[in-house]
Structure formats: C-alpha cells, structure tokens
Structure 1
C-alpha cells in the first residue's frame, strides 16, 4: 500500500486551484497533495484516534459489510455510516458494493503524509489570485 498525501488550504484557495485546473491554467505536480482539508482542526477531527483505529481495523480485517464492521466495533451502523461517508469524502476509505448490495469499506492506504508549510501566506502552496498565479 501507499501513503495518501494531504494538504491544508482555505476554501477560497481550494476553489481557485480547482477552477485553474479545470481551465487548464494550472497542472498539479505528481508530488502535490491529492486531498485537501480546510484546516488542521478539520484534519484532526477526521483523523481522530477513534477514526484511526477504525481505519486500522478495516485495513486489517476487510469487513464485507457495515453490519460486520458494526459487530467488530460495537458502534451503531448509523454512526459508522456517517463516519465512513465523511472519510470517503477525503478518500480515506472507499465504500464498494459487496454481496447483496451491501457496502464494504476498504482502505487503500497505509497512512497519510501531510504537506504543510509553516508560511501561512494565503496561496503560498495552493495557487490563488493573490499570488499572481491565477487571474483575479
């Protein structure tokens, strides 16, 4: 398995980056993050200790359904479903159709790599109109 590269970008910078990519004005490099979080606080919530344990359990046991995962964790299916959908939005898990249309969670990475600069100048790592890389 590999590591998922993640970054932190404001919503404004993320939107500007996405628009620039769609317009062909910016091409992301192969070493750039594939997933972006709006803040370290959001990252910390999504990758809380309980959620990291859940990712480890999924990776090690390969449950065939949310029912099976609920049994293994003692968590309610509704709670697991909500957590997994959030993780899916950030590409941390993949929910694939299993037997009888049941969703089976899958983890395609063995960890994450955070690409974070100390320079908090808007647009420093993510192109934005303020740094001159994108049209205003």
Structure 2
C-alpha cells in the first residue's frame, strides 16, 4: 500500500489556494499533502484510536459490506456509515460495489502529517506567489 500525506490549513487558506490553482496561478507540487484538515483537532478526531482500529479491521478482515463490518465491530450501521463517509472524504478508504452491497477498502497503510511548527501554515503560505 501507500502513505497518504496530509496537511493542516484553515478553511480560508485552502479556499484561496484552490482558487489560485483553478486560475492557473499555482501548480501543486508532487511532494505536498494531497489531503488537508482544518485543524489538528479534526485530524485527531478522524484518526482517533477507535477509527484506526476500524481501519485495521477493514484491512485485515476485508468485510464484504457495511452490514458485515457492523456485525464484526458491534457498531450501529448508521454510525458506521457516517464514519465511513468521513473516511472516504479524507481519502482513507474507498467503497467498492459488490453486487448490491458496498464494501469498504483501505487505500493507504500509513498517514504522514506535514505540520510546520515554526511557520504559520507554511505549505500554503509559501505557495501564495504561485509555482510552475
């Protein structure tokens, strides 16, 4: 599998960067994060111990449906569906159709957080001038 590189940036910075990219003023670098969280708290919530355990179960037991995953974990299907939708949104899993059912599949086996400690939002702020 692969490593998903993630970063932290506030909503306004992400929106401004997206607009620069859309206008052709900036080109994303291959080494920069592919997924962005708005805070370290949101990152920690999505990758909580319980959710990492859920990812491990999906990877190891390969449930054939959300219902099967619910049976394995003991979590309510509605709660599980909400969590899986969030994980899909952050690129951690994908849902594969298997007949009439959807089965969760883990995409990455690692997450790397790009978090500058001395420069405020360095990955996005440095890109403000545009890149080729």
Structure 1 and Structure 2 fold alike (TM over 0.5): yes
The 1-side partners of 2:58 and 2:51 are apart by: 10
The partner residue of 1:133 within 105, 129, 132 is 129
Contact 1:3 1:110 in 2 (8 A): yes
Structure 2: give runs of 5+ residues left out of the alignment.
Answer: none
Q: 1:75 to 1:29 in 2, by over 3 A?
A: same
RMSD: 1.5
Aligned partner of residue 30 in structure 2, secondary structure: coil
TM-score by length of 2: 0.92
Structure 1: give runs of 5+ residues left out of the alignment.
Answer: none
The 2-side partners of 1:77 and 1:132 are apart by: 43
Structure number with greater CO (CA < 8 Å, separation at least 6) is 2
Which stretch shifts more, 88-97 or 43-52?
88-97
- Asked if residue 107 in structure 1 is aligned to residue 106 in structure 2, the reply is yes
TM-score by length of 1: 0.90
Runs of at least 4 residues of structure 1 off by over 3 A?
A: none
How many residues are paired up?
130
Contact 2:66 2:104 in 1 (8 A): yes
